[in-house]
């Protein structure tokens, strides 16, 4: 399971349990990790296709 998905799931569970500050922080971190991994994946795919 990808790390960003684990972080998002833990954040949502913490939001449901009432830890809204920590939960929303983890959700934002999960979204940031997802975006960075998508950008790096697209850059890596573009670089390998040119070779």
> What's the average model confidence in pLDDT over 12-26?
90
Which uninterrupted H or E stretch holds 6?
helix 3-17
Say if residues 47 and 29 touch (Cβ distance below 8 Å): no
- Tell me the torsion sign for CA atoms 40, 43, 49, 51: negative
For residue 51, being part of any structural domain is answered with no
Tell me the whole-structure pTM to 2 decimals: 0.73
Show the domain range for 13.
3-46
For residue 26, being part of any structural domain is answered with yes
Average pLDDT, rounded, for the chain:
86
For the chain, the domain total comes to: 1
**So what's the pLDDT on residue 49?**
56
Q: Has residue 48 got a pLDDT over 70?
A: no
For residue 7, being part of any structural domain is answered with yes
């Amino acid at each position: 399971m990808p790390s960003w998905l684990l972080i998002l799931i833990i954040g949502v569970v913490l939001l449901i349990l009432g830890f809204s500050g920590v939960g929303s922080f983890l959700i934002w971190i999960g979204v940031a990790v997802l975006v960075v991994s998508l950008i790096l994946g697209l850059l890596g795919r573009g670089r390998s296709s040119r070779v």
